[in-house]
């Protein structure tokens, strides 16, 4: 995306119908308020980062958003371009994924004893139809569908750079490749919005650089991305917009420039490697 259109987006953030619009999201765990009245928006085609110190509630936020936790209060609205708005609150995780949100996990959750290709093929599950009888009788429709699943999954693997490993068990991949495989698996669900939970964690600088490029490519394909990340360099270079959380509350939002200079953010991080960025 060109610099001009990004500028346009930034100027018009408030006016456009956002892809994802979250208002008043609150989550209580037996008396402890993990998320407190959170508002957050993601526009179509944006890379949005969610940052904050450890324990700020970022992953909890993802879990609420993807239906793994049931939020105590709040509205989660998804408006795909040119289509009706749908509410995501209270939906089961699989329904959320069907609506077009796909995620990765902070502590990698691949299917370790399945091959790389199969891991990606699982991502196609919610976009395919074959039932038990189809599986037993292998009618033409099922066979065709199965072929398409394999082809599409392989093409995703190619894009992500894991094609050569497609017959390996997921557990045998190196760490960085596992993280990429999680992204590939999420992409296979045809998402509108990709939720990445610390994708660069544990990666070396080379891998992080490749990840940066990968995420940009994905965005250029028309997906929006919401990203939790601790690597400030990556966040600053990638993001169009940043939200900062601390103790379950949003403490700041803005473009990378604004966040870099926000005193509240600096205070929250206590001068933690913000200067590196």
Partner 1 sequence: MDYFIELFFSGLTRGSIYALIALGYTMVYGIIGLINFAHGEIYMIGAFTALIVSTVLSIFGFPLPAIIILTLLASAIWAAAYGYTVEKIAYQPLRNAPRLSPLISAIGMSMFLQNYVLLAQTPDFLPFPALIPDFDFMEPYAATIGSSDLVILVTTAVVMLLLTWLIKFTRTGKAMRATAQDRKMAMLVGINVDNVISITFIIGSALAAIGGLLIAAHIGQINFYIGFIAGIKAFTAAVLGGIGSIPGAVLGSFILGLTEAFATGYVSSDYEDVFAFSLLVLILIFRPAGLLGKATIEKV
Partner 2 sequence: MISLKDIQKGLLVSLWFVFLTFPLLVIKVNPIERVITWRWFNMLWIALGSFSCYLAVKAYKARQLSRQKRIKQGVIKERTAWSGRILKEPGIYIPFLIAVGLFALVFPWIFSTYQTNIMVTALMYIVLGLGLNIVVGVAGLLDLGYVAFYAVGAYSYALLNLHFGLGFWTVLPIGGLLAASFGILLGFPVLRLRGDYLAIVTLGFGEIIRLILENWNDFSQGPSGIANIPRPGLFGMHLSLDQSITYLYYLVIGMVLFTIFVVNRLQNSRIGRAWFALREDEIACQAMGIDKTRTKLTAFALGATWAGMVGVFFAAKTTFVNPASFTFLESAIILCIVVLGGMGSIIGVILAALILILLPEYLRAFSDYRMLAFGAVLVTMMIFRPQGLIANVRRIYTIPEE
Interface with partner 2 by CB under 8 A: which residues? Answer: 66-68, 92-94, 97-98, 102-103, 105, 109-115, 117-118, 121-128, 130-132, 134-136, 138, 142, 145-147, 149-151, 154, 166-167, 169, 185-186, 189
Q: Residue from 69, 111, 247, 269 that binds partner 1 (CB under 8 A)?
A: 69
Radius of gyration, alpha carbons of the chain: 19
Distances (CA, A) of 163 to 91, 116, 154, 155: 34, 9, 7, 8
Using the minimum distance from each CB to partner 2, give the nearer residue, 8 or 175.
175
Using the minimum distance from each CB to partner 2, give the nearer residue, 5 or 172.
172
The answer to whether 15 and 234 are in contact (CB under 8 A) is no
* Least Å from the CB of residue 94 to partner 2: 5
How is 13-42 classified by DSSP, letter by letter? TTTS--SEEEEEEEEEETTEEEEEEEEEEE
Classify each residue of 174-210 as buried b or exposed e, where b means 16 or more C-beta atoms within 10 Å of its C-beta. eebbbbbbbbbbbbbbbbbbbbbbbbbbebeeebbeb
From the list partner 2, partner 1, none, partner contacted by residue 29 (C-beta under 5 to 8 A by kind): partner 1
* Least Å from the CB of residue 112 to partner 1: 11
- Under rule CB under 8 A, which residues in 80-109 are in contact with partner 1? 105
Give the tokens for residue 26: 């609150």
Check residue 169 for interaction with partner 1 (CB under 8 A). Answer: no
From the list partner 2, partner 1, none, partner contacted by residue 102 (C-beta under 5 to 8 A by kind): partner 2
From the list partner 1, partner 2, none, partner contacted by residue 69 (C-beta under 5 to 8 A by kind): partner 1
* Least Å from the CB of residue 64 to partner 2: 13
Q: Beta strand pairing status for 86-87 and 20-29?
A: unpaired
Using the minimum distance from each CB to partner 1, give the nearer residue, 112 or 161.
112
From the list partner 1, partner 2, none, partner contacted by residue 59 (C-beta under 5 to 8 A by kind): partner 1
Output phi, psi for 86, to 5 deg. Answer: -125, 150
The answer to whether 38 and 250 are in contact (CB under 8 A) is yes
Using the minimum distance from each CB to partner 1, give the nearer residue, 59 or 119.
59
From the list 16-24, 63-71, 208-216, 250-258, the region that binds partner 1 by CB under 8 A is 63-71
Strand partners, 162: none
Give the tokens for residue 137: 């009788």
């Amino acid at each position: 995306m060109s610099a001009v259109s990004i500028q346009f987006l930034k100027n018009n953030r408030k006016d456009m119908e956002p892809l994802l619009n979250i208002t008043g999201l609150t989550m209580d765990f037996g008396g402890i308020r993990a998320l407190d009245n959170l508002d957050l928006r993601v526009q179509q085609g944006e890379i949005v980062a969610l940052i904050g110190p450890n324990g700020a509630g970022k992953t909890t936020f993802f879990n609420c958003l993807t239906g793994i936790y049931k939020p105590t209060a709040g509205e989660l609205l998804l408006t795909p371009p040119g289509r009706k708005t749908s509410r995501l609150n209270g939906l089961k995780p699989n329904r959320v994924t069907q609506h077009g949100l796909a995620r990765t996990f902070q502590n990698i959750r691949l299917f370790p004893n399945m091959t790389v290709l199969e891991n990606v093929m699982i991502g196609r599950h919610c976009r395919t139809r074959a039932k038990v009888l189809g599986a037993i009788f292998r009618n033409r429709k099922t066979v065709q569908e199965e072929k398409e699943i394999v082809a599409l999954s392989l093409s995703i693997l190619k894009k992500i750079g894991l094609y050569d490993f497609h017959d390996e068990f997921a557990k045998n991949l190196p760490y960085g490749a596992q993280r990429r495989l999680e992204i590939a698996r999420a992409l296979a669900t045809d998402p509108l919005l990709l939720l990445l939970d610390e994708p660069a964690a544990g990666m070396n600088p080379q891998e992080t650089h490749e990840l940066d490029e990968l995420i940009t490519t994905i965005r250029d394909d028309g997906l929006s991305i919401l990203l939790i990340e601790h690597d400030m360099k990556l966040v600053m270079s990638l993001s169009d917009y940043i939200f900062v959380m601390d103790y379950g509350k949003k403490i700041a939002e803005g473009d990378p420039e604004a966040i870099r200079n926000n005193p509240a953010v600096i205070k929250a991080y206590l001068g933690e490697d913000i200067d590196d960025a």
